[in-house]
Amino acid sequence: MPDCQFCKQIKSKENMIYEDDKAAAFLDSSFPGKVTIIPKEHYPIIENVPDFVVGHLFIIANKLSKALFECINSTGTNIIVNNGITAGQTIPHFCINIIPRRENDNINLQWQPKQLSDDEMESAELQLKEETKNIGQFDKEKKEPVKLEKKTEKIEQKDGEENYLVKQLRRIP
């Protein structure tokens, strides 16, 4: 996508710390040590991203959070995905955010738990169960099939000489 900030950043490689064929990771200047991982293809939300790409992105997120544990002395990491504007998504290109945490760093990501009635809990459970029945197999990466070329060897016969292969055929057992 030409207008997408992340698609442009993939090309410019600004603050890039990791890259492979499916994903790229950058340091974000809005918070010290924050890492953003994005798929190289443009997908707005997680529902559009193919399953095998999602799996690959989370494996990279795990390794990068290990790196942050070790190199900038963080004692914890938060991995957050904002899916949709109401969830806080600002750029319409799917991304995974990794935030390094330390004790007493004055960052509050904890929510106040709501006290819901039993009815509310039950109706949510039933509604979700209806949809989760449809969860089946996940998309796998399509690998290109190996093309096998059929080779037929032509037996060349020189004048006056018989090819040894033809001689073999004519041998009387």
Partner 1 sequence: MEPNSQMTPEQAQAMQEKVKNMSPEELKEFQKQQCIFCHIAEGKMQAKKVYEDDKVIAVLDINPANAGHILLLPKEHYAIMPLMPDDLISYISMVAKALSNAMLKALKVEGTNIFIANGMSAGQKAQHFMMHIIPRNKNDNLPLTVPKMAVSKPDMEKLKEIVTKKVNEIFGIKEEKPKKAEDKEKEKKEEKKPKKTKQKIVDAEFKEIEKKIKKKSTAKKSKKKKEEEEASLDDITNVLNNL
Residues between 57 and 76 that touch partner 1 (CB under 8 A): 57-59, 62-72, 74-76
- 25 forms beta bridges with 18, 37
Using the rule CB under 8 A, is 49 a contact of partner 1? Answer: yes
Give the burial string for 155-171 (b: 16+ CB within 10 Å, else e).
Answer: eeeeeeeeeeeeeeeee
Taking the C-alpha atoms of residue 164 and residue 155, their distance in angstroms, rounded to an integer, is 10
Shortest Å distance, C-beta 38 to partner 1: 14
Using the rule CB under 8 A, is 23 a contact of partner 1? Answer: no
User: Smaller CB distance to partner 1: residue 124 or 166?
Assistant: 124
- The tokens describing 67, both together, are 């790196």
Shortest Å distance, C-beta 93 to partner 1: 15
Instruction: Pick from 8, 13, 120, 167 the residue near partner 1 by CB under 8 A.
Output: 120
Using the rule CB under 8 A, is 13 a contact of partner 1? Answer: no
Using the rule CB under 8 A, is 113 a contact of partner 1? Answer: yes
- On whether the CB atoms of residues 31 and 68 are closer than 8 A, the answer is no
How many Cβ atoms from other residues are within 10 Å of residue 43's Cβ? 19
Pick out residues in 71-110 that bind partner 1 (CB under 8 A).
71-72, 74-89, 97, 99, 101-103, 105, 107-110
Taking the C-alpha atoms of residue 52 and residue 66, their distance in angstroms, rounded to an integer, is 22
Using the rule CB under 8 A, is 5 a contact of partner 1? Answer: no
